[in-house]
A and B are shown apart, each in its own frame.
Chain A
Amino acid sequence: MAGSATHRLYLSAAVVAGIIAIALAAPLLPLADPVKMDVPARLALPSSAHWLGQDEYGRDVLSRVIWGARVSLAVAFLSAMFAGVIGTTLGLLGGYARGLVELLTVRSTEAIVSFPPILLALLVVTLMGPGAVTLVVALTILYAPGYTRVAFAATLATRGLDYVTAQEALGARPARILTRTILPNVAPPLLVQFSLTVAAAMVLESGLSFLGLGVVPPAPSWGLMIRGARSTMEQAPWLLLWPCLALTGTILAFNLLCDSLRDVLDPRGSVSEIPWLKRAAARIFPSVGPAPAPSSLLSVEALTIEIDSPTGPVRPVRDLSLTLAPGETLALVGESGSGKTLSGLALLGLLPASMRIVKGRVLFVDRAGRPHDLAQLPEADMRRLRGDEIAMVFQDPGSSLNPVHRIGDQVAEAIRVHRDVTGKEAAASATKLLGDVGLPDPRQRARAYPHELSGGQRQRSMIASAVANGPRLLIADEPTTALDVTIQAQILDLLAKLKTKGDMGLVFITHNLAVVAEVADRVCVMYAGEIVEEGPVAEVFAEPRHPYTAALMASAPEGDRAELTAIPGSVPPPHALPAGCTFAPRCTRAVDSCHSIKPAFVEAGPGRASRCLRWREVA
């Protein structure tokens, strides 16, 4: 992506450079005099002497197109430059000094922006008379505010940075800081602004000339040429073509240059993927054998997720296996980067478009007792399960609710997709659900917008829409992480209360061991894309059988342990996994074989499993 943006930048820059070079070279080229008339040969067709023909006064069109480029470009560049110097200075001063200076420099130029550009230009033309100089003055006034705004914003952003503060502390004079430190940092956005201004100035210059209020005849200018050709459009329509092409082509080249400059300078703007929507395509691999009917609600077998990276495909989740019985709560716990959130999204078929399940099965038994392999289910069938049989609560309720719809409507929507009910019935159910999840005054809250609720209330609403259809399986991805500690406890209580009502299975994804102890029956500890230990919560916590679990517990700020041990190092990224045990580089108990042998996930006592070669010694 970055490569092709750079490529496009060079290409458009080369075209622009070519146009400028031709314009500059006009006096050196063997061209006819652009203003020499030859009335008998008016509207003559192209000939060997006049390659593009002659205009309404018999002047050479090719020569006028090339000399016209000089006028257009000169006016555009001069005004862009003057506007740049004046506007940038004002913006730098305003951004650096703030206060009254800001009012005089930045705010006053903003008023200019409220004028339609061409009107302000016409006002200046009325007072100064038409001509190239007037154009430069008018365009400078018009385009200076653009630079002021860009320079002001960039200065504000830069002056708060540490190195600027450091220079101030060293006693550098403001002028020096402005020119030496801030200016180079605001240069990239100003460069984009410059090419934008040149293009805009050319449009305006040609427009004014076209009206007869810009460049004064007989000097050649593209706008004037179009104006002239318009009057002889009946007899010689081809005369319109050349200046139109030259003008549009040049502006197009400048616009492309702006776009690719922006792409290169601001890589954030490039768009490379859209999640989910592309997923509708059916999966390539057919189902492997008939799915057995397990007694469990959910049974994940050897799930492996792959993502394309510049260095080839990598696997952020490998060989994930777990089971969940109806009514059970399973905690998926691990540090960030362990793959726990991706695993949760994969269960619902909500992986980003760049990722896919390459191996494994996800068997889910629906209300009717039919098993489905979620890893291979077509999107249409998956959609029928989502929000109905399987629901998900996300980490940040602030961004997971749509800001422009009322809370009640967002809950009711979940019901209406899957149930054949009227809008009124759905709304009533939604209000009841909001009451059930503990929102005070649910009737009134249902009419509120997300921004009018507290974080805890938003998460309660999210949970209400997740459990609206009485799902068999609820996946909660860090549902309390974005909330205050007291609110966290309330949400956990709410989830526990919802669990007691039926046989809903809950997969609870978290990094917080204290939360695990509170809500879960069993726990799966994830590390670098793999489950490293599994077992009943009480047993695992009392007697971990993987060094990572032990280290995680030791580092947790919970309980009355006096010492806090941070685990040294960090989770290896999926493209740079160690050869042996993934945890070996950070493990205090590792021996030589740990670095060379990949441990299997083996049974470690009744109901327990561990991915450690030495689990017996660790225990």
Chain B
Amino acid sequence: MMLRYALARIAVALALIWAVVTIVFLVIHVVPGDPAELLLAQGGVAPDPAAVAELREKLGLDQPILTQYLAYVCGLLRGDLGSSLLDDHSVAEEIALHLPRTLELILAAGLIATMLGLPLGTIAALRTGRPIDRILSAAAGLGLSVPVFVVGTLAVLVFAQKLRLVPAGGFVPFTRDPAQHLLLLLMPAATIAVGLGAVVFRMTRTSVLEVLRRDYVRTAHAKGLSARRIVMHHVIRNALIPVVTVLALHMGSLLGGTVLVEFVFNWPGLSGDLVRAVEQRDYPEVVGIVLVISVVLVIINLVVDLLYAVIDPRVRHG
């Protein structure tokens, strides 16, 4: 049963990846104007036609659109994401180096957010309307409203510049100095966790309140279970189901959040490459990174779907 569910989800994920690949291709070709001309245009000056023609040939834009599409898909299947327009380095290699750093950041942020949001959300739900609930809910409302780069910039100002507790940013490989690596990871991860934790908190609170009203919670009371056991055993697991779903839905904006956070904290992840590539209009690199991040996102969603089936046995039977 579980296997069949897993295979079905994997098939959907593969279809989504194909859709992502196609959309990226279409965005490049559907946005009005010739990409080569757009890329070479500087400050409204019309580019040299010879240069445009050369770039068109280099990017394969002179081919029929279907040929271009096939060449592009075939390249992807071979793991070829093209090479940078600036210095011809392989886009795939650069991504392979920087992607793990971005994933590490997201993972750490997700961990902090869940560790804060889940217990606090449950507490707030069990104490609805009391001062603790009001305070936590107001804090979450604020956490949702502060843009991630505002949190990051203010964190640098307070913790790095004024209090001098942590470095303002940077990166040291884990293998060289694990302690320093984790110290540098702390601030950017905590910054992302502010908004994400608020999302987890809100979802958990709503979800726990919802589950508390279910008949099977009444059954648990009728069995004479303690309030503690009812919450731990009957409420939280059921309440987790929508929380996991929402977390998955927010993975997208979370990955987006890393773009700004990596910039603020000088964290040399994939997103930094992306911003640089966008600034320099290094279009093969932009396309490569957008593709890879989207595919990673699809894979994370797949994992969440499978996790979902572990929590809720009903899902396996679709």
Could you list which residues of chain A lie within 8 angstroms of chain B, going by C-beta atoms?
111-120, 122-129, 199, 203, 206-207, 210-213, 223, 226, 230, 233-234, 237, 240, 244, 247-248, 251-252, 255-256, 259, 271, 274-277, 280, 348, 350, 383-388, 391-392, 394, 396, 399-405, 413-414, 417-418, 449, 451, 462, 465-466
Contact = CB atoms under 8 A, between A and B. Distances in A.
A225 to B, nearest CB: 11
A394 B215 contact: yes
Nearest to A413: B223
Interface residues of B, number: 83
A122 B20 contact: no
A387 B223 CA distance: 4
Contacts of A117: 252-253, 256
Residues of B contacting A: mostly: helix
Contacts of B217: 275-276
Given A127-B38, A207-B149, A277-B126, A417 B278 contact: no
B16 A387 contact: no
B298 interface: yes
B274 interface: yes
Contact of B224 (A116, A275, A388): A388
A492 B263 CA distance: 70
Contacts of A120: 27, 290
A462 B223 CA distance: 10
Given A119-B256, A123-B290, A275-B213, 12 more contacts: A117-B253, A125-B278, A210-B260, A211-B259, A233-B156, A251-B145, A275-B212, A387-B222, A402-B216, A402-B234, A413-B233, A451-B314
Nearest to A117: B256
Interface string B193-233: 00000000000001001001111111111111111010001
A387 B225 contact: yes
A147 B194 CA distance: 27
Given A233-B157, A404-B313, A114 B297 contact: yes
Nearest to A243: B150
A543 to B, nearest CB: 37
A459 to B, nearest CB: 12
B145 A383 contact: no
Contacts, number: 226
Nearest to B286: A126
A112 B286 CA distance: 17
21 contacts: A114-B297, A115-B20, A115-B290, A119-B256, A119-B293, A120-B27, A122-B286, A124-B31, A206-B147, A207-B147, A207-B149, A210-B260, A237-B162, A244-B153, A274-B212, A275-B212, A276-B221, A350-B222, A383-B225, A385-B224, A404-B238
A247 B156 CA distance: 18
A230 B222 contact: no
Interface in B85-128: 125-126, 128
B54 interface: no
B255 A116 contact: yes
Nearest 9 pairs of A and B residues by beta carbon: A387-B224, A118-B256, A387-B223, A386-B224, A252-B145, A399-B215, A116-B256, A402-B216, A116-B255
B147 A271 contact: no
B128 A271 contact: yes
A404 B24 contact: no
Nearest to B277: A126
B4 interface: no
Nearest to A233: B157
- Of A223, A271, A391, A418, most buried by chain B (CB within 10 Å of CB) is A271
Nearest to B160: A233
A364 B299 CA distance: 59
Interface string B124-148: 0110100000000000011011111
Contacts of A402: 216, 219-220, 234, 238
A247 B150 contact: yes
Contacts of A274: 125-126, 128, 209, 212-213
Interface string B286-312: 110110011001100100000000011
B256 A251 contact: no
